[in-house]
Chains A and B, each alone.
Chain A
Amino acid sequence: MKRNLPLYLLFIFAIWGGISVFVGKESVHEIDNLLRNKLLLIVGAFAIILGLGSLIFHHMVKIRNKSRYWQYSYVTLVSLFISSFIGLFGGVRGEKSLPTIFGGLVLLAHDGQVYAFQNEAEMGQFKASPDKFVDPARAVMPLPSNVEAPLSRYAASSLRDEIELRASNARRNGIQFEMISPVTGKPVPFKKDFRIHIQQLFEGILVPCGSTMFAMLAFYMCSAAYRAFRMRNLHAGVLLVSAFIVMLGQIPLATAYIPGVYELRQWILDVPNMASKRGIMIGVGLGAVATSFKIIFGIERAWLGGDE
């Protein structure tokens, strides 16, 4: 039963998925979407718990065994717990209760306008008697329709981004952009806030690290190309010559001064290269269909860990 139940479930769901390709009835598609999107999300949520358990266990074992560079496992675990805590209680962009945005420009939404202040004390003065200071001319910008007053930390942070964008656009177009405090009438210098919400951690840490890894690809390509283009036999020689022509055809200087090189490059890409690619693609398509059928009909059971 332990082995057969997954096979029966797989067969039913796979046949249903196949039927929805050929049947146009809305109700069939609705059930298919439910299975694909919602059910898969639920399964994914459970799998994340398993995944996290595995990750923690893996690094705990490394620390316990004092494996090579075990200290880095602490970095992983500490980062995991800190980011989970921030994400759970602070929200993706600081919209939840845990404070994840600190300092920055002091903004107040009043009567459909956004005003900037030097500090909290100035804003307090304004709030105490707004009629004395309200002057739409000194507003930084009108309050966007999707933002509510009083401003939450998250809304104020989004407005700061918007103000910064406007200021940089104005500078680019040679227009003076200045924020004037309605209380003192003095210019308010732009102050960035300090953010540690999940989006900031993602943009500030993960994206640059990923970009660094991606940038290394250029060097790996050079070393791989060096090995691939050594002329050891006739096939490697053909590869070298065609690669040389394709590279030449990519360079503007070469295409300008060597007649026909661009056309030859395009021919290599469009005819022999495309022919072999399409051959592989047909094979891949059929292979994918064959694998799917093998799994659906229970012929292939390696994914269950074997036949028994």
Chain B
Amino acid sequence: MKLANGLIGCFVLSLALSLNAFCQEIPLVDPDPVPVPVSIDDRVFESPREVVAADVDNDDGGVIHVAWKEPAGSTPDHYIVEMAGPDGIWQRVTETVLLDYDVMDLPNFTPMSFRVAAVYGDKVFRSDEVTGAMARDHWLKLGKIPVLLAIAIFIALLVFFIISARLGRELFVRRITGLNAVEDAIGRATEMGRPVLYVPGTSYIEDVATLAALNILGEVARRTVHYDVKIIVPNIDPIVFAIAREIVKETYNSEGRPDAFDPDSVFFMVPEQFAYAAGVNGIMVRQEPATIFFMGWFAAESLIMAETGASTGAVQIAGTDDLGQLPFFITACDYTLIGEELYAASAYLGNEPILLGTLKTQDYSKLVFIIVMVILTVLGLIFPHLDVISWIQVR
């Protein structure tokens, strides 16, 4: 009841306030007068002031930074930056409304002249020429120092864990379900008498994910030799194909079964994304592999292949560092290696102490990153004037 009375009271009060607002006299004075536009002819025309052209410090050359100040009179519509080489021929570099510009792709150690023009409608007012500006390349790029530091920390951790592993210290590595399933999945192929299909991604050899996929291929091939199962490796890139074939061939040799290597099991299929997907789907449907590995970098073809594989009833283990394709693999495959697990896979499967040391390095580097992020975030929040981002910014 009290609540109802309170609500009614509030309603009456708000109604009274609104009526009061309506009854107030409307002020006759315009509170915000509209500024009278200045016609172009009334403006004071001047050229830009204090034009400076200087080489950018600690870069790889070819860049001159041109800066200037606004004319003392009216603000121009925009500025035109012009430059001339040793031949003295002036050319327009850019039009901008800003007060500085980085002129790129210049020859190093060549004196250049610059001037900036202020544009008012169809009138142009040029500054004095700044001569003798010269782009230079420098030995050390100071903007990359944070990367160098991070690499130094990483190498220090790597050396520490490799030495620890060599000294016989046992390194604990968390279980990765997808990789534990590799043995069972290949065993299943053996029992069913069907092949194992290994898809090493749809990227090129320059991609680290492809290299990781090739490293895993070595371990998977070793197990197929042990279980005497056929492995099929279709490739999208001829260079990746050449390396993949060498890996499988060498694995058969090192396991003492060179006779069992089928040169036709690792082959170059086609260098086109969807044609490759169609070809891989064809292998899945025709040869019905019991186990399918998707390792490396994938694009839109990931789901096309993974869904076809799922429809054949194969056990599928996927691993990719591409965030866009991860949900597709998680949905369509039995096990998925997420991001860094792809890079950890060969060390995990190989179970060699030194390789496990690199895994620990990866984990501890992540810890270092998290600590640095937390410290910088706290510092940034407590002391906003410190500009902590600039400490780690890479230029």
Contact = CB atoms under 8 A, between A and B. Distances in A.
Contact of A24 (B59, B330, B350): B59
Nearest to B364: A286
A22 B369 contact: no
A286 B218 CA distance: 22
Contact of A220 (B251, B268, B303, B355): B303
11 contacts: A22-B147, A29-B60, A55-B270, A57-B267, A68-B286, A286-B340, A290-B343, A293-B158, A293-B358, A294-B355, A302-B218
A101 B304 CA distance: 36
Interface residues on B, range: 35 or more
A16 B273 CA distance: 32
A221 to B, nearest CB: 7
**3 cross-chain pairs, A with B, having the tightest CB-CB distances, nearest first:** A305-B250, A51-B238, A287-B343
A271 to B, nearest CB: 16
Nearest to B368: A286
Contact of B362 (A47, A68, A286): A286
A306 interface: yes
Nearest to B344: A287
Given A22-B148, A209-B274, A305 B339 contact: no
Interface stretch (B87-95, B176-184, B206-214, B385-393): B206-214
Nearest to B354: A299
A81 interface: no
B262 to A, nearest CB: 9
Given A47-B242, A287-B343, A293-B158, A220 B253 contact: no
Interface string B202-234: 000010110110111111001000000000000
B249 A305 contact: yes
Contacts of A55: 267-270
Given A21-B147, A283-B339, A302-B350, A210 B254 contact: no
Contacts of A84: none
A12 interface: no
Given A217-B303, A287-B343, A303-B243, 19 more contacts: A21-B147, A51-B235, A51-B241, A52-B268, A57-B263, A61-B264, A214-B274, A214-B300, A280-B338, A280-B340, A282-B366, A283-B366, A286-B362, A288-B321, A291-B212, A295-B211, A300-B215, A305-B247, A305-B254
A69 interface: yes
B108 interface: yes
A224 B340 CA distance: 24
A224 B268 contact: no
B57 to A, nearest CB: 10
A138 B214 CA distance: 64
Nearest to A229: B331
Interface in A230-245: none
Nearest to B251: A305
B340 A283 contact: yes
Interface string B307-347: 10000000000000101001110111000001110111011
A25 B137 contact: yes
B343 A24 contact: no
